[in-house]
Amino acid sequence: MLKILSLAGLSSMAAALVGLWWIGALFSPSPFVIAVQVFSIALMAWARITFGHRSFHAAADPTAGGIVTAGPYRFIRHPIYAAACLFGWAGIASHISLAAIALGVLLAAGALLRLSCEERLIVARYPEYRDYARRTKRLIPFVY
């Protein structure tokens, strides 16, 4: 069931980003928005490189090799989801509308659903994840 829910979360995130692009609220000529989005891409790349050769699974599925606690994972447990949300919300901030905000909520809700499913599956496979979770925040360093 958690794997199916994680697919729903990933699908929601993808649909929200496509929706933001569709309504013209994902990108902006603003130098600030561009800088934030470039930062979010760099964060995502750093996290993916740190994660290593483990494959990406559409459904949450903890991989062999233990938990990753280096790179951006030292500060937050889900830097790729944080980067996706940051990328989307930077665009929304420059194109405020009810539709853009609704898609932003869908993006954040999808990320929260997915990371919740992942964390439950990871704890089941790696009980030491609980200690790591006590030391780090989920998406926003020092906050959440």
Q: Which residues contact 11 (CB under 8 A, 6 or more apart)?
A: 110
The whole-angstrom separation of Cα 21 and Cα 103 is 10
Mean pLDDT of all residues belonging to the chain = 92
* Residue of 90, 120, 135 whose CA lies nearest to 4: 120
Average pLDDT score over residue span 78-104: 97
Verdict on whether the full-model pTM lies above 0.85: yes
Q: How many Cα atoms sit within 13 Å of 6 on the Cβ side?
A: 19
pLDDT at 127 over 70: yes
Q: What is the pLDDT of residues 3-51, one digit of tens each?
A: 899 999 999 999 999 999 999 999 999 999 999 999 999 999 999 999 8
